[in-house]
Amino acid sequence: MDGKHYLDDVLRQLRKSKALGEAAMAQVDDPALFRRLDPEANSIALIVKHMAGNMRSRWTDFLTSDGEKPWRGRDLEFEDEPGGTRESVARRWDEGWAACLDAIAALTPDDLDRTVAIRGEPHTVVEAIQRQLSHYAYHVGQIVFLAKHFAGPSWRSLSIPRGRSGDFDVAKDGGAYRLEDRPA
């Protein structure tokens, strides 16, 4: 795979993760964004806050500074803030994703072999990207799980619904299955 193809695919996969998280959050009411399963669990809003903090830290000055910025305050990402709203969660989400997607869109294939640091640990750009791809997918999965739990019977599948696999000819033609293609 050439570098341009890799970077294009990274952006495509990240945008799919972003859309998946957004589609899940859209299915819950505002209080559910801040609800925890238990006192030690994170709410959807806290997961978003953590992801946004990570994205801003990792992708700000990506090629020239350590990905763990001194201004981050990671521990605060897991503390509730009074007065949170759906709009504040969405704003944080969008700001984090913009930092990530803009930084990756600015990369060139020549950048892929460069070395960057995360908490002082050297990574090639490809390794750093892969690290973040898996981290974001992990947290989007948590958001989907919580949203599905809180939506209950009103949940609408974000992929192929149970028992409906035969209704889809997934990616046989090389095309991607899209959320908007799912049945109602």
Position 161 scores a pLDDT of 81
User: What is the Cα–Cα distance from 136 to 52, expressed in whole angstroms?
Assistant: 10
Q: Domain span at residue 71? A: 3-181
39 pLDDT band (50/70/90 cuts)? Answer: very high
* 151 touches 27 (CB < 8 A): yes
Q: Give the predicted TM-score (pTM) of the model.
A: 0.89
Long-range contacts of 153-160 (CB under 8 A, 24+ apart): 154/27, 155/27, 156/27, 156/182, 156/184, 157/182, 158/20, 158/23, 158/24, 158/182
Can you give the CATH number for the domain in which 46 is found? 1.20.120.450
- Domains: count for the chain: 1
| Tens digit of each residue's pLDDT (9 = 90 or more) over 58-103 | 999 999 999 999 999 999 999 998 999 999 999 999 999 999 999 9
| Tens digit of each residue's pLDDT (9 = 90 or more) over 133-171 | 999 999 999 999 999 999 999 999 998 888 777 666 555
